Amino acid sequence: MRPARALIDLQALRHNYQLARQLSGARALAVIKADAYGHGAVRCAQALEADADGFAVACIEEALALRAGGIKAPVLLLEGIFEASELALIVEHDLWCVVHSLWQLEAIEQTRLAKPINVWLKLDSGMHRVGLHPKDYQAAYQRLLATGKVSKIVLMSHFARADELDSSASSEQVAVFEAARQGLSAEISLRNSPAVLGWPQVPSDWVRPGIMLYGATPFDVPQAEAARLQPVMTLESKVICVRELPAGEPVGYGAKFISPRPTRVGVVAMGYADGYPRQAPTGTPVLVAGKRSQIIGRVSMDMLCIDLTDVPEAGLGSPVELWGKNVLASDVAMHAGTIPYQIFCNLRRVPLVYSGD
């Protein structure tokens, strides 16, 4: 059996969820969109359900998969409906729904609903992706109320630059949000992971942690709160071939690595078809036989090469951690010019193996 697999530590997931709650002093929707950032949405939801205030996903398909998996907790659709026909399913499956655009508000006005729904009214406070314009916000709130079709309205917005700890952009977004909601007495929700970890002064009734649940930092600098996260996923495999090269020999496609000295090369069963980033260059860290080393040459589809020269105890069959508790996914992502969000979401082909139920 091919040794590549992703171990998922559900105990660490619960730890990170509790940390989000504790740091924010708010209720927390565990964001498990995109199959829980590659960690398996139903299993992660099951592991959190006893503790969690609710979950958040991108779309109704993801929400229905949770309901089919037996999840009874509240589930928020972060992008709301994509077409009006989804409103009936929202009622039927008791889902919560973001309204980010006037067309979605109109759909609620024009659709007969069997029961009132829980709506999260989203403001564009400066990111300029989705969300209502501040000048339309109060009127949209009143129109929603007037439909008689809402059981509750939560006021929400989303940060564009909360991962930049020295930027004033998030404070400016909070100011726009505060002005837009003046006089409305409703619960609020602003904070994603970087804001939970790095912006304790931002008020919250509800927070929406995603990446931090999986134990990866959203920051590209060290941060005290992020250091308390426990990595959930360990992507591991084994050395399947070892070769000794003299100095001056190329390794892998395109001869992107030329051995600068006599080099012991280990070939690992892991490649970009598993989601390991092809862009990861020579020097990207790995752990082999418990010691840190690095990849060399180009990542290929099913294999990659690592340097065993300074790890003589490593050999055929040695375990390799591509990322996990020792080699941080955020570190690998940085080497590959991307973010841990993307390397988790790209994971495929490898079996997910759970522990800590």
Ligand X SMILES: *Cc1c(COP(=O)(O)O)cnc(C)c1O
Q: Catalytic positions, please?
A: 33, 253
Pick the closer one to ligand X by CB: 8 or 299: 8
Pick the closer one to ligand X by CB: 272 or 341: 341
Q: Which residue ranges make up the site for ligand X (CB under 6 A)? A: 31, 33, 78, 158, 192-193, 208-212, 218
Nearest distance from C-beta of residue 187 to ligand X, angstroms: 15
Nearest distance from C-beta of residue 211 to ligand X, angstroms: 4
H-type helices in the chain, by residue range? 10-24, 33-37, 41-48, 60-68, 86-92, 102-110, 134-147, 169-180, 193-198, 329-335, 340-345
DSSP for residue 351: P
Pick the closer one to ligand X by CB: 40 or 218: 218
Please count the other Cβ atoms lying within 10 Å of the Cβ belonging to residue 221: 10
Of all residues in the shown chain, the one whose CB is closest to ligand X is 210
Pick the closer one to ligand X by CB: 30 or 87: 30
**Whole-Å CA distances, 348 to 193, 199, 275, 293:** 24, 33, 6, 24
Nearest distance from C-beta of residue 139 to ligand X, angstroms: 22
CA 330/CA 336 separation, integer angstroms: 10
Nearest in space to 287 (alpha carbons), one of 263, 274, 306, 273: 306
CA 224/CA 77 separation, integer angstroms: 31
Nearest distance from C-beta of residue 219 to ligand X, angstroms: 11
Phi/psi-derived region of residue 35, left when phi > 0, alpha when psi is between -120 and 50, beta in every other case: left
Pick the closer one to ligand X by CB: 209 or 285: 209
What burial class does residue 228 get, using C-beta atoms within 10 Å of its C-beta: 0-12 exposed, 13-18 middle, 19+ buried?
A: middle
Residues facing 238 on adjacent strands: 319
Query: How many residues does the structure list for the chain?
Result: 357
Nearest in space to 124 (alpha carbons), one of 143, 102, 97, 150: 102
Pick the closer one to ligand X by CB: 100 or 264: 100
Residue with tokens 């020999």: 249
Pick the closer one to ligand X by CB: 173 or 193: 193
Nearest distance from C-beta of residue 120 to ligand X, angstroms: 9
Nearest in space to 108 (alpha carbons), one of 88, 94, 123: 88
Contact 195, 167 (CB under 8 A): no
Nearest distance from C-beta of residue 340 to ligand X, angstroms: 9
Nearest distance from C-beta of residue 325 to ligand X, angstroms: 20
